Amino acid sequence: MEPHQAGIGRVTAAIIAIAAMLPYLTLKIVWLSGNPIGITDPAMMNDPTMTALNGATFGMAAVGAVLALAFTMPWGMRLPAWLVLLPIWVGTGLLSLIVLSVPVSLIIEGAQVFPDGGPIEQWVYLTVYAGFIGQGVGLTAAFALYARDRWPHLFAKDLYGTAFRPFHTMIAWGVAVFAVPIGATYLYWAFGGTAGLARELVEATNISGSIQMGVKGVLAWAAAAGFALMVRGRAREAMVAAWLGGGTLFAWGFYSTVITVLKPPLTAGVTFSTAVPDLLEVLSMLTGLAVALAGAFLLVERSGSRSVVERSGGWGVVQPAQDPLEGEQREHDRQPADRSHH
């Protein structure tokens, strides 16, 4: 198999992700074309805010489909790193909360977890969230296999060189200072705590809402713990936790902040105060952003280094990315300048 040729696992995961997106994309196209299928209040879809949100979410799903395709193609290996990492980080952050919470809610409450008799018919929720789950699982698996093949050095035992470890340690402490209380607050609310919540919001929170808050709390702690373990040299065990936890903090914090500002028709009639939850979402967004910036710095740092090598019981960065034609042994390690053509 060619170095950049996708294996059967990566191709299968990408196919699952794309297939899961098709119903959602189709539904968005139908709504944007003016057909209110699945909507009990057609006038709601004429609101400019809803049109903008439908257009934006269609675009996000389309980007996900293109990424899934890129994960299986040779040209996907040549895409700029930021063009891959930024959308997939936000996407997996949004989808991980759904993948982890919705199945549990369905097991406990059944289809009643989705509202019936509201402005959107129940079958729409079932179709959309089933697609989100398949999309989340497929995209995450395809990306993990893609990243392993494109950036194998990031799966090394120790990602951090000694020169930059103090900087990342400082960032890890900063992330923990915010992520730990954010996670604790969500878990407190998930288990029935009411401090900081308006009475109307407490009454409106159902089992599904409590499960989502609980998962948010766990993922916030995962971001803090994962990043701290990576700094301590346990990258393989912690990378997934830091990635999903940080992505969830940022993506859902950003999404919730946008919804709070735009106030689309689906939130019409929600008049109770949500000051504390809104502030928590903003802090979540900023904490997730800190994780992303530290991860981006790490990627740039590692991209400027040669592959890692084992030495003295650990792994360290030892040479620039481009191999020198002549090393310390001079006459014994010459390599032909045109070696890449053989």
Residues 150-200 have pLDDT tens digits of: 887 766 655 555 566 777 788 888 899 999 999 999 999 999 999 988 888
- Res. 322 pLDDT band, cuts 50 70 90: very low
Answer yes or no: is 325 within a domain. no
Q: C-alpha distances in angstroms, 137 versus 95, 130, 265?
A: 9, 11, 30
From 33-47, 72-86, 135-149, 260-274, the region with the lowest mean pLDDT? 260-274
Residues 123 and 8 in one domain: yes
Residues 267 and 159 in one domain: yes
Residues 133 and 89 in one domain: yes
Residues 195 and 134 in one domain: no
Answer yes or no: is 315 within a domain. no
Residues 176 and 277 in one domain: yes
Residue in this structure with the two tokens 């590692």, named with its chain if needed: 302
- For residue 124 the two structure tokens come to 């729409």
Q: Counting Cβ atoms within 10 Å, is residue 156 exposed (0-12), middle (13-18) or buried (19+)? A: buried
Look at residues 119, 150, 181 and tell me which one is the last residue of a structural domain. Answer: 150
Q: C-alpha distances in angstroms, 82 versus 11, 207, 226, 280, 299?
A: 22, 38, 21, 27, 10
Residues 23 and 47 in one domain: yes
Residues 9 and 124 in one domain: yes
- For residue 163 the two structure tokens come to 């020169």
Look at residues 150, 172, 187 and tell me which one is the last residue of a structural domain. Answer: 150
Task: List b or e across 30-63, with b for residues whose CB sees 16 or more CB atoms inside 10 angstroms.
Answer: ebeeeeeebbeeeebbeeeebeebbeeebeebee
Answer yes or no: is 339 within a domain. no
Answer yes or no: is 220 within a domain. yes
- Max mean pLDDT among 206-215, 257-266, 270-279 falls in 206-215
Q: C-alpha distances in angstroms, 194 versus 143, 191, 197, 202, 340?
A: 39, 9, 5, 7, 65
Separation of alpha carbons 325 and 76, rounded Å? 30
- For residue 174 the two structure tokens come to 């900063």
The region that residue 308 occupies, defined by phi over 0 for left and psi between -120 and 50 for alpha, beta otherwise, is beta
Answer yes or no: is 124 within a domain. yes
Domain with 245, as residue range(s), is 152-304
Answer yes or no: is 321 within a domain. no
Q: C-alpha distances in angstroms, 285 versus 3, 63, 107, 174, 229?
A: 37, 21, 30, 14, 21
Residue 310, classed as helix, strand or coil, is: strand
Residue 44: closest CA among 56, 55, 36, 32: 36
CA 9 to chain centre: 20
Instruction: Report, as an integer, the average pLDDT of 23-41.
Output: 91
Separation of alpha carbons 342 and 336, rounded Å? 10
- Backbone torsions φ then ψ of 72, nearest 5 degrees: -110, -5
Residue 184 pLDDT: 97
Residue 160 pLDDT: 57
Residues 175 and 299 in one domain: yes
Looking at every residue in the chain, the average pLDDT score rounds to 82
Question: Domain tally for the chain?
Answer: 2
306: pLDDT strictly greater than 80: no
Answer yes or no: is 327 within a domain. no
Tens of pLDDT, residues 201-257: 888 888 898 999 999 999 999 999 988 887 776 666 688 899 999 999 999 999 998
From 13-17, 148-152, 235-239, 329-333, the region with the lowest mean pLDDT? 329-333
Give the relative orientation of helices 275-303 and 81-109 as an angle to the nearest 10 degrees. 140
Question: pTM to 2 decimals?
Answer: 0.82
Residue 115 pLDDT: 78
Residues 202 and 213 in one domain: yes
Percent of the chain whose pLDDT exceeds 70: 79
Residues 123 and 156 in one domain: no
Instruction: Report, as an integer, the average pLDDT of 326-330.
Output: 41
Q: Which residue has the higher pLDDT, 203 or 299?
A: 203
Q: Counting Cβ atoms within 10 Å, is residue 139 exposed (0-12), middle (13-18) or buried (19+)? A: buried
- Whether the CB-CB separation of 23 and 127 falls below 8 Å is answered with yes
Residue 260 pLDDT: 84
- Whether the CB-CB separation of 180 and 218 falls below 8 Å is answered with no
Separation of alpha carbons 180 and 283, rounded Å? 12
Residue 222 pLDDT: 95
- For residue 291 the two structure tokens come to 């994780």
Give the type of residue at 156: A
Residue 267 pLDDT: 67
Residue 314, classed as helix, strand or coil, is: strand
Residues 142 and 185 in one domain: no
Look at residues 150, 170, 199 and tell me which one is the last residue of a structural domain. Answer: 150
139: pLDDT strictly greater than 90: yes
Answer yes or no: is 333 within a domain. no
From 86-95, 130-139, 224-233, 247-256, the region with the lowest mean pLDDT? 224-233
Separation of alpha carbons 162 and 301, rounded Å? 12
Residues 275 and 288 in one domain: yes
